[in-house]
């Protein structure tokens, strides 16, 4: 009878190890103070169990330290042990294993920290050669490189993160990746301000993300049109799109450029509407969207161009155009543009820029 390995004890198998048969065999061992291979037939007869089941029960009891080898006795010769002593012996064994594992984990973590520090020591070299004379502007050549750099910089943010996210709804996978990072920043006391286009209010994944970060202390606003995607961290580092490849970005640390991007953000932020899903807010943003559509209609823009600029589908854009025509009492797009111009809708309220 070879005791089963204690891995069985660690794998949440208490129900299997202490079933009715195991308890009966333990009671027998306590009464007779010992169990030997020659006792299996007697145990089987006394308890009405097959010898194989009795042998399995003895193995389980040995695994739980309720039976221990008798000093000087042969293989499979056990003595019964009280439950408290068995528990102390069993947990002591497992705690020793855990201490060894924790020590090994500590050694590995220290080794990883040393490796990380050694690799990170090359960052100034990489930064200096990555773009610009002094590395103040660096090209991140694809989406993976841009995402990795963004995650690293935002993860180290100390004071503030500003973001502009053009378009309507955003991919759920991107939001799922950003949510824990942004919540962690908010948890560190970092101020997070995010600017979206109005259609993002009506996209379920984006709305869910916005409500979660707002509950954690973030500030979110929307407006009809926003500039290109922008992220500014601690007013020292900015990320802006690069036109060279899909997903590519520029990492900017040049102070005057970063200051310009901050000014651009603040200007757009001052014109935006605080995020709210209430019906009244929805009516407000719908009216603003229609006013911007009036400007673009007067400029002769096509439906798909207007839709792209406002971060919405062409179908949604055409619905807004129909509502605008009805509001103005216009019979055609041309007439709507003329009536909007006469009503003063085609002069943007924020015609001046940030400078």
pLDDT in tens, 109-119: 888 788 777 77
For position 353, what pLDDT does the model report? 41
Burial class (CB in 10 A: 0-12, 13-18, 19+), 122: exposed
Predicted confidence band of residue 129 (pLDDT cuts 50, 70, 90): low
Predicted confidence band of residue 315 (pLDDT cuts 50, 70, 90): confident
Spell out the domains of the chain, with CATH numbers in brackets.
Answer: 1-121 (1.10.10.10), 135-274 (3.30.870.10), 279-342 (1.10.10.10)
Q: Contact at 8 Å (CB) between 230 and 161?
A: no
Structure tokens at 312: 């919405």
- Exposure on the CB side of residue 252, measured as CA atoms within 13 A: 20
pLDDT per position as a tens digit, 210-268: 999 999 999 999 888 888 889 999 999 999 998 755 788 999 999 999 999 999 999 99
For the beta sheet containing 237-241, the strands, ordered from the edge strand earlier in sequence to the opposite edge, are 137-140, 249-252, 237-241, 230-233, 160-165, 191-197, 219-223, 273-274
Greatest mean pLDDT range, 98-102, 206-210, 295-299: 206-210
Burial class (CB in 10 A: 0-12, 13-18, 19+), 161: buried
pLDDT per position as a tens digit, 139-191: 888 888 898 999 999 999 999 999 999 887 778 888 898 999 999 999 999 99
51: pLDDT strictly greater than 70? yes
23: pLDDT strictly greater than 50? yes
* Alpha-carbon distances of 115 from 101, 107, 111, 118, rounded to whole Å: 21, 12, 6, 5
5: pLDDT strictly greater than 80? no
pTM (global) more than 0.75: no
Please state, in angstroms and rounded to a whole number, the distance separating the CA atoms of residues 302 and 265. 28
φ, ψ of residue 80 to 5 degrees: the values are -75, 140
313: pLDDT strictly greater than 60? yes
312: three-class secondary structure by DSSP: coil
Mean pLDDT computed over 32-39 = 85
Please state, in angstroms and rounded to a whole number, the distance separating the CA atoms of residues 326 and 317. 14
Mean pLDDT computed over 331-342 = 68
For position 12, what pLDDT does the model report? 43
Residue 31 makes CB contacts below 8 A (sequence gap 6+) with none
Q: Contact at 8 Å (CB) between 152 and 251?
A: no
Please state, in angstroms and rounded to a whole number, the distance separating the CA atoms of residues 2 and 58. 9
348: pLDDT strictly greater than 60? no
For position 123, what pLDDT does the model report? 66
Please state, in angstroms and rounded to a whole number, the distance separating the CA atoms of residues 184 and 172. 19
Q: Which helix (H) or strand (E) holds 257?
A: helix 255-271
What would the DSSP string read from start to end of 223-242? ES---S-EEEETTTEEEEE-
**Cα torsion through 146, 219, 269, 254, rounded to 10:** -40
For position 17, what pLDDT does the model report? 57
For position 230, what pLDDT does the model report? 94
For position 347, what pLDDT does the model report? 46
């Amino acid at each position: 009878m070879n005791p089963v390995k204690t891995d069985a004890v660690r794998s949440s198998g208490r129900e299997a190890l202490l079933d009715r048969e195991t308890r009966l065999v333990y009671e027998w061992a306590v009464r007779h103070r010992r169990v030997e291979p020659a006792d299996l037939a007697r145990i089987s007869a006394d308890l009405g169990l097959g010898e194989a089941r009795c042998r399995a029960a003895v193995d389980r009891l040995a695994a739980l330290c309720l039976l221990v080898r008798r000093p000087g006795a042969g293989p499979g010769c056990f003595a019964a042990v009280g439950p408290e002593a068995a528990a102390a012996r069993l947990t002591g064994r497992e705690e020793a294993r855990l201490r060894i594992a924790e020590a090994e984990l500590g050694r590995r973590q220290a080794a990883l920290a040393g490796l990380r520090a050694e690799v990170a020591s090359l960052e100034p070299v990489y930064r200096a050669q990555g773009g610009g004379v002094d590395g103040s502007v660096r090209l991140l050549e694809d989406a993976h490189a841009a995402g990795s750099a963004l995650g690293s910089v935002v993860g180290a943010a100390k004071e503030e993160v500003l973001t502009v996210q053009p378009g309507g709804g955003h991919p759920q996978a991107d939001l799922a990746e950003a949510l824990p990072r942004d919540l962690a920043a908010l948890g560190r006391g970092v101020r997070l301000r995010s600017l979206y286009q109005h259609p993002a209010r009506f996209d379920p994944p984006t709305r869910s993300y916005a409500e979660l970060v707002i509950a954690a202390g973030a500030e979110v606003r929307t407006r009809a049109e926003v500039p290109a995607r922008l992220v500014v961290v601690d007013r020292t580092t900015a990320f802006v799109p690069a036109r060279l490849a899909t997903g590519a970005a520029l990492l900017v640390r040049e102070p005057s450029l970063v200051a310009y991007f901050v000014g651009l953000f603040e200007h757009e932020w001052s014109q935006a509407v605080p995020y709210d899903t209430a019906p009244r807010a929805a009516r407000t943003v719908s009216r603003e969207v229609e006013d911007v559509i009036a400007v673009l209609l007067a400029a002769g823009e096509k439906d798909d161009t207007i839709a792209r600029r406002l971060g919405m589908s062409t179908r949604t854009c055409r619905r807004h155009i129909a509502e605008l025509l009805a509001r103005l009492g216009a019979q055609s797009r041309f007439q709507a543009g003329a009536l909007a111009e006469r009503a003063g809708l085609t002069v943007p309220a924020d015609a001046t820029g940030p400078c």
